[in-house]
Amino acid sequence: MLKHLPEGLTPFQDCGFDRKPHLPLAGEGVQVFCRTEEQPALHLCVNGGERLLSPAQVDERHWRFDLGAFQYGDEVSYRFSGDSRVFAFEPLREALCHQPVSLMQRGHEACVVFDAFHLLFRADETLTVSASTAQPPEWNECEEITLPLRENFSLHVQKSPFIWELKRFSNEKPVLSVSQYRVWEGMRGGIGSIGHLGALNVQHVWGTGERFHQVDLMGSETNGRVVEKFTQQGDQTYLPIPFFMTDGGFGCFRSSSISAEMRFGETFAVCQRTQGETLFEDVYFFGAPADVLAQFIRRTGQPVLPPDWAFGLWMSANGWNCDAEVDAQLSAMKEHDYPADVMVLEAWSDERTFYRWNDAQHWADPAATVRRIREAGLHAVLWQIPIVKYEWDGEPGEALLQDEKEAIENRYCVMNADGTPYRITENWFHNSLILDFTNPEAVKWWFAKRKPLLDMGVEGFKTDGGEFLFDETARLHNGMTGLEAHNLYPSQYVGAYHDFLRENGVHGVTFSRADFTGAHTRPMHWAGDQLSTWSELQSQLRAGLSAGLSGVLFWGFDIGGFAGELPSAELYLRATAMACFCPVMQWHAEPRSGQFYATHEDGFINDRSPWNLAQKLGDQSVLIISTAFAKLRRRLKPYLVSEAEHCTEAGRPLMAHLCIDFPEDETACACNDQYMLGRKLLVAPIVQEGQVQRQVYLPKGRWKNVFTAETFAGQQWVTIACPLDQIPVFERQE
């Protein structure tokens, strides 16, 4: 099978079968790469003339075609011999737009007209800035405009030299300015991409989704794309959100699903591919960080409150694939007097359909298994994936073959532009179909197969994956292309499961890795896959803080990491302590074989349960201290439930950066390793190996150490000793 995807797979990986550059400029050399077992040939068509090209061999399976450069206006397409697909592109030209044709005003609206597009500014409760290639309005022309905004802000637009600025009456300098736009346009396809360049006069930038590399994004950049990256995520994320806010009294939401690249620093730049007449729309909110975040959350959907039980302790491991495994965990809970509220089963299904339980050798009576889980005081959550699987390793079986047949015949799956079914291009579950959740009939078909799970007492789904829509030319039932649907697909998938639970009267929960704008309407989320290392624990803390600053209200991570060598006792207990004071407290482990296979004997159990780790590490303190934190979590749950109710009403993350509550405190705003859990508890996790004490910043007020009862005045740094059975947590005193 020949493989070629012009746009490639991910921002961090050279797949070896893409086009470089993906969107060529006129005069720029173009190379096309493919992967196939036998030497391919390429038919290149330029302005109706066709010629056959031979490749250069990159390695045993990868080949390169040098297409040369093309002129603006050329019509270019190519196909590979023996492959019916035709790939086309239009050479683009880059234009710098910094001198408008006209500037116009009507009431609280302004319009800046450039040759290729126009900007429309609308000032009311928010400021909306949009760009369009449609016919511009005909209003009164002027040379400059000033429009009043909320919170003592104003918008100033000037025709020559062109600039638009956000100003605050108390500041001489604008907090934001944009002086030029760059467009990449084709002769026939219009504007294919647009970006702006400007400046920010702020100290801190927060948001853009769950970020593992930095909380404060000043001096950093983000690509805005939903990405699956197994461990060590760096600057990639499963959960981007095109929203940021600043300590300068404003925030911005790019109301688009197409990935927007943002750069914050000496230059403030945003660049995005475009589709259709509307090139982009930005909405600016004004106020303190808490107000800006609440405005953004209200604009993008009503927050949903999870059930009370979801704020208890979650226990999970991929190896629990039979009655014996489940019963062993229930027995261990009872033996060690370990309180938990949720049991997640990942390896419960036939591993083909993901709605049928595995055979009777694994599960004698699935309904009885769920009943035993519930009788033990736990709520059952089952793992899901939004695919009709392509079976590579064995017989697919009659049920899967029938599912595939029905999905294709009825167009329940995402389709290619040529009407054939889209199949996952590469990596996890490659060649599988993905369900089209924009098709109401497909949704009915999909969940009719899963309704028996609810009937037997399942109360939630771990909605994993969703990062699979790679091809920009794919088509969804609602007319979306893969370009605009890639980021939206996880939210369509998770949202459908959330609706499925609600429509069947189950006050349950989805637990998701990937998502996008509006994640607060389909809680809860976890940080995905990390190694059992200290550096990954530090990245998890950053991810939780940045997710909250982006509107993700209820978030958690895998205690002690998910993959690789077992965590040390110290790492596991520090992670347990942090998770005890996070919105979601859960431990989980990779499959027994392991993506990072680190076991030392056949049948080695790599569960991150405290009883397994105590046995494997030869350290009973792991079990003793973990159980104490589990019991503390049980006592903490009423507070968490009450604060979660407030969070959904107020539009506030349960795990909140200190800037939310103390925006006037410069030290608090610069503190990126502490947070408020609700409105009363300040948490300062230990995330460094060998650390037995740490500096904690206490904002204004009086604070009581939850573990020692010692009280402190605020607006100072204090040094707190912290043994393994404690974590620096302070209760805000009235």
Q: Which residues are catalytic?
A: 464, 467, 529
Residue 688 zone, left/alpha/beta (φ > 0; ψ -120 to 50; rest): beta
Across the chain, which distance is largest between two alpha carbons, in Å? 82
Cα angle, residue 547 at apex, residues 545 and 549 outer, rounded to 5°: 70
Residue 212 to residues 560, 567, 575: CA-CA distances in angstroms? 16, 20, 16
From CA 116, how far away is CA 2, in angstroms rounded? Answer: 39
Give the side-chain half-sphere CA count within 13 A for 174: 16
Place of tokens 């973990």: 626
From CA 662, how far away is CA 654, in angstroms rounded? Answer: 15
Q: Which two tokens stand for residue 571?
A: 């790492």
Residue 675 to residues 571, 582, 714: CA-CA distances in angstroms? 20, 10, 15
Residue 467 to residues 145, 209, 429, 477: CA-CA distances in angstroms? 44, 15, 11, 18
Q: Which two tokens stand for residue 671?
A: 């503190």
**DSSP symbols for 191-204:** EEEEEEEEEE--S-
| Burial of residue 570, with CB atoms counted within 10 A of its CB: 0-12 exposed, 13-18 middle, 19 or more buried | middle
Give, to the nearest 10 degrees, the angle between helix 569-580 and helix 534-548: 10
Q: Which two tokens stand for residue 64?
A: 């390169």
Whether omega for the bond prior to residue 21 falls within 30 degrees of 0, making it cis, is: yes
From CA 110, how far away is CA 71, in angstroms rounded? Answer: 37
From CA 156, how far away is CA 302, in angstroms rounded? Answer: 33
From CA 462, how far away is CA 512, in angstroms rounded? Answer: 6
- Strand 278-286 and strand 268-273: the pairing is unpaired
From CA 548, how far away is CA 550, in angstroms rounded? Answer: 5
Which of these, 321, 303, 348, lies nearest to 458 by C-alpha position? 348
Number of Cβ within a 10 Å radius of residue 23: 17
Cα angle, residue 484 at apex, residues 302 and 233 outer, rounded to 5°: 80
User: Which residue type does 285 have?
Assistant: F
Residue 573 to residues 181, 541, 619, 708: CA-CA distances in angstroms? 51, 15, 12, 19
Element (H, E) at 185: strand 176-186
Which of these, 674, 589, 581, 678, lies nearest to 630 by C-alpha position? 581
